[in-house]
Amino acid sequence: MRIKPTIPLILLAASVCWGQSEYRIPLRDANPSLAIPLVAGGNGVLYVAYRSPTWLRHSNQLEVLAYDLNAHKELRHATISVPEVHGARAAEGLYLSADGQMLAYAEIHDPCLLLLISTKDLTELRRSTSLPFVHLDPGFPNGQRGEVFGGFDSQGWLSFAIPRGHSKGIRFVRVDPANLGVVSNDITENLWKDSSEGLLWSPVSKRIWMPKRDVRVHGWVEYTEEGKSTGEEFWGTTQETTYGADVLGKEKLIAYFGRWDHGSAISYHDHEAHALNLPCTLFQYGIGDDPEYAGALCLVTRERGGGWDKTESSEFLLLRTDTPSVIWREKTISLVDRSETDKDHYWYYQKGNPLIYRLSDKIYVVAPSKAPELNVYVVPVPE
């Protein structure tokens, strides 16, 4: 049964700001044009992992650092040898375990790498360079493979999802971090994604949100990993294209829509949807583990012909998701992304999503840039 909620109109007011501060974290030997830094946060510490390419564009080292957000001080730095690549490298993710003792870093296309790192001293715990599920599925011919590394699930297993090509389903794999052995390997044949859309998946709740289109309306529908619909679904407004979404916590979703100079952010939870309508296209850009906050880019574009749009302005928005509403805006944060093509003409895409990390009464927005550094913005939590 389709749910068509009544969505209230909330107009964007003036610039919202509560005395935020900002600073920079330099990244030694980083080259963002070849490798985007990955970030994770826990217990007031920011963890960063990135490849450090040479001037010849070769890379065989992973730089890992721990940074104290309150003291503005680097705590530890380590350099770990990794499989050598040449040129750009797209990584799949960096995640912190629930107990805060372990980092998991993954590059799950050739040469693949799954690396576990101790947060105590940033030493390597375990690695795998021959993941048994990487070559099982053909992927999309001459297109995006779309493998997803989901980090730790509710049982502490490392979780992976691999789309198997057009109409062939999705493979879900769990790996034991204690020995990197596969503990489950399941295929859901009646659940598949279009290669043009990302896979929105929560391994903790074992739920997947799939984009759908009905005539001229775009929406999202939730399924279990077994491919069963949960009955949760919602639809955007007419003539707006979907531009990504975030799973917030275990049960909430925020999705972004737009076209040229109008768009919306729609938060959805338990059969209820609420929208923020803005004079721009909203584009998913920001990740965090607090379901109350999310990030997006507000882009004003104009059609310039040939199927391409020209961006006239860009602004990062920090959103409170329950309404939703804008609590902070910043023009200096812009999209940073990289793509990589292998010898078989598959391509892999990495978007430099800022980390949105709440610590006590402050929200830290940690954003990559085109310079070898991270930009850190400290925003007080609004009352």
Residue with the bigger pLDDT between 340 and 83: it is: 83
Q: What is the pLDDT of residues 41-53, one digit of tens each?
A: 999 999 999 999 9
Q: What is the pLDDT of residues 302-336, one digit of tens each?
A: 776 655 567 778 999 999 998 899 999 999 999 99
- For residue 171, the one-letter residue type is R
For residue 40, what pLDDT is reported?
97
Residue with the bigger pLDDT between 277 and 197: it is: 277
User: 283-305 as b/e, with b when 16 or more CB fall inside 10 Å?
Assistant: bbbbbbbebbbbbbbbbbbeeee
Q: What is the pLDDT of residues 179-229, one digit of tens each?
A: 999 999 999 988 876 655 667 899 999 999 988 777 667 788 899 999 999
CB neighbourhood size of 43 (10 A): 9
- Residue whose C-alpha is closest to residue 91's, from 82, 79, 100, 99: 82
In this predicted structure, the answer to whether residue 20 has a pLDDT above a threshold of 80 is no
Tokens of 103: 């980092």
- pTM metric for this prediction: 0.90
In this predicted structure, the answer to whether residue 62 has a pLDDT above a threshold of 50 is yes
Tokens of 271: 């059969």
pLDDT band at residue 352 under the 50/70/90 scheme? very high
Rounded distance between C-alpha atoms, residue 12 and residue 32, angstroms: 33
Q: How many residues does the chain have?
A: 383
- Strands 355-359 and 287-288, sheet pairing: parallel
Rounded distance between C-alpha atoms, residue 381 and residue 20, angstroms: 10
For residue 211, what pLDDT is reported?
81
Q: Which residue has the tokens 């998991």?
A: 104
Residue with the bigger pLDDT between 299 and 10: it is: 299
In this predicted structure, the answer to whether residue 14 has a pLDDT above a threshold of 60 is no
pLDDT band at residue 381 under the 50/70/90 scheme? very high
In this predicted structure, the answer to whether residue 246 has a pLDDT above a threshold of 80 is yes
- The overall average pLDDT reported for the chain is 86
For residue 169, what pLDDT is reported?
86
In this predicted structure, the answer to whether residue 163 has a pLDDT above a threshold of 90 is no
CB neighbourhood size of 28 (10 A): 13
In this predicted structure, the answer to whether residue 6 has a pLDDT above a threshold of 80 is no
Under DSSP, the state recorded for 144 is B
Rounded distance between C-alpha atoms, residue 362 and residue 81, angstroms: 35
